[in-house]
Amino acid sequence: MKLVIIKYNAGNIQSVSFALERLGVDFAITDSPEEIAKADKVIFPGVGEASTTMAYLRNKGLDRVITSLKQPVLGICLGMQLMCTFSEENSTDCLGIFQETVKRFLPQGDMKVPHMGWNNLTLSNGWLDNAIESQYAYFVHSYYVPVNPHTSAITEYIKPFSAAMHKDNFYAVQFHPEKSAQAGELVLKSFLAL
Amino acid sequence: MLTKRIIPCLDIKDGRTVKGVNFVNIRDAGDPVELGSLYARQGADELVFLDISATNEERKTFASLVKDIARHINIPFTVGGGISSVADVAPLLEAGADKVSINSAAVRNPQLIDDLSRAFGAQCIVLAIDARKIDNQWTVHTHGGKIATDKKLLSWAKEGQERGAGEILFTSMDHDGTKEGFAIDPLSKLNAMLDIPVIASGGAGLKEHFIDAFVLGKADAALAASIFHFGQVKIPELKTYLKERNIAMRA
């Protein structure tokens, strides 16, 4: 199996690489459209701000590469948000794979923004390992994707939101599997086993 | 439910942990990677690695150490110590650190918070504030607590939030090292005022102190060093204890 991580200005590429190394998986990090298109599986990481990241992807032509992929693609954190149609973060048009708007959390009482730390998940449809429901995943984000028909796991913070999604060959998680200890390894293994 | 976080802090000098002491399950407590891995296995929710090196020469080893930590540790970690520019931060995040903490340099140049937040995102900028009560006012100190400034804890924390910090790490110098509990009063004031998470630091001695920090102080996370390093409080036992008392904890 040929696995690639899309190389762009995402902040967590190193951490995702190390997580895959810990699982003993071979992979390449590349921004070559040909190499990405030829891969069996693609990871689309993401830490950063939506508008500058989308501008970077468009500038490199990676936006069209990502939307045209037919093999399993895993979006992580900002990667998942950019797979939606629009983000309230600096009013950014995104990739439009999931027909959803990414919204900003509004702080409420003791619940602060960013949503930062370990939270649990309730699975709603299929690709994640059930064992993850008894564990916690690490989140850091100020924007969220509302619960929608493509939601595969729900987490509650201020309101229920999409912790994971799936549509066709596109898979996505809001949390950071690369930093989520055993729970994160389960997620990466589920994706690698698809 | 979002859990409260328990964060061991490791001081690093010249690539080695300082205050590293006797561990039964570890070959080399002076090795930050080994000690950090042990804490991660024990259930620590995050780690903080603070470079207390005095010279730039010693500091050079830190970025390669950060990469080594990221390679082996599967939970988030913050690094700090001597960071004063965007150029200082980029290699640390690229090496795999999740957040950086800034302290003295932000007091000297508050614009640094704006610059770092814009360059890397608020979520990875931790504003560390060391403060001590002087004439009934919580006064911000810099340079490891040596120099008093004219800034006050609450207004400086608020300014930090407005400039784009993603989290506040508040250390009470009056409580640090006493093992008599966290500074609950300023902690609860900070948490009532801020919209970003606050990490309580300084004074942890007993498991009960963590309850006070979370319930009375409303802290989002609590940081400690020596009680974990010396094994006076063990992370698995602490987390079980807190969970039994209805504090949301990652098991």
What is the least distance, in Å, from the CA of B76 to any CA of chain A?
6
3-state secondary structure of B224: strand
The amino acid at residue B229 is H
Q: Which residue segment(s) compose the domain that B235 sits in?
A: 5-244
pLDDT band (50, 70, 90) for residue A162 = very high
A:57-116 residues touching chain B, CB 8 A cutoff: 107, 110-116
- Enumerate the active-site residues of A: 77, 176, 178
Measured between beta carbons, the chain B residues lying within 8 angstroms of A186 are: none
Single out the catalytic residue among B130, B176, B212, B220: B130
CATH code of the domain in which B128 resides: 3.20.20.70
Among the partner-chain residues A138, A142, A185, the one whose CB lies closest to the CB of B76 is A138
Any chain A CB within 8 A of the CB of B167?
A: yes
Q: Which region among A171-175, B45-49, B58-62 has the lowest average model confidence (pLDDT)?
A: B58-62
Q: Is residue B65 part of a domain?
A: yes
* Whether pLDDT at A34 is above 50: yes
- ipTM, 2 decimals? 0.92
Domain count of chain B?
1
Q: Is the peptide bond before A114 cis (omega within 30 degrees of 0)?
A: yes
Q: d(Cα B85, Cα A161) in Å, to the nearest integer?
A: 36
pLDDT band (50, 70, 90) for residue B61 = confident
CA-nearest of A71, A79, A12 to A50 is: A79
Phi, psi of B213 (to 5 degrees): -60, -40
Question: With an 8 Å Cβ cutoff, are A11 and B75 in contact?
Answer: no
Among the partner-chain residues A116, A120, A156, the one whose CB lies closest to the CB of B123 is A116
Q: Which residue segment(s) compose the domain that A160 sits in?
A: 3-192
The partner residues of A73 in beta bridges, in order of sequence, read A42, A170
Question: With an 8 Å Cβ cutoff, are A119 and B40 in contact?
Answer: no
Among the partner-chain residues A18, A139, A185, the one whose CB lies closest to the CB of B71 is A18
Q: d(Cα B99, Cα B122) in Å, to the nearest integer?
A: 9
A124 CA to centre of own chain: 17
Q: Is residue B251 part of a domain?
A: no
Distances (CA, A) of A127 to A68, A72, A118, A169, B214: 22, 12, 21, 11, 36
pLDDT at B22: 47
CATH code of the domain in which A105 resides: 3.40.50.880
What does the buried/exposed string (b/e) look like for B26-35 if buried means 16 or more CB atoms within 10 Å of the residue's CB?
eeebbbbbbb
3-state secondary structure of A54: helix
Measured between beta carbons, the chain B residues lying within 8 angstroms of A181 are: 40, 74-75
pLDDT at B14: 80
Tell me the per-residue pLDDT of A68-122, one tens digit each, with 9 for 90 and over: 999 999 999 999 999 999 999 999 999 999 999 999 999 888 899 999 999 999 9
Q: Is residue B121 part of a domain?
A: yes
- The dihedral over CA atoms of B205, B208, B210, B211, expressed in degrees to the nearest 10, equals -170
- Which chain A residue shows the shortest CA-CA distance from B219? A110
Phi, psi of A134 (to 5 degrees): -95, 5
Q: d(Cα B34, Cα B46) in Å, to the nearest integer?
A: 15
Q: What is the DSSP letter of B12?
A: E
Instruction: Say whether B68 is catalytic.
Output: no
- The dihedral over CA atoms of B146, B44, B241, A131, expressed in degrees to the nearest 10, equals 160
Token digits of residue B187:
């902690």
Non-local CB neighbours of A173 within 8 Å, separated by 6+ positions? A74, A75, A76, A77, A80, A137, A153, A163, A164, A187
* Whether pLDDT at B21 is above 70: no
Domain count of chain A?
1
Q: Which region among A97-106, A124-133, A182-191, B189-198 has the lowest average model confidence (pLDDT)?
A: A124-133
Q: Is residue B249 part of a domain?
A: no
* Whether pLDDT at B20 is above 60: no
Q: d(Cα B10, Cα A16) in Å, to the nearest integer?
A: 24
Tell me the per-residue pLDDT of A118-141, one tens digit each, with 9 for 90 and over: 999 999 878 999 999 999 999 999
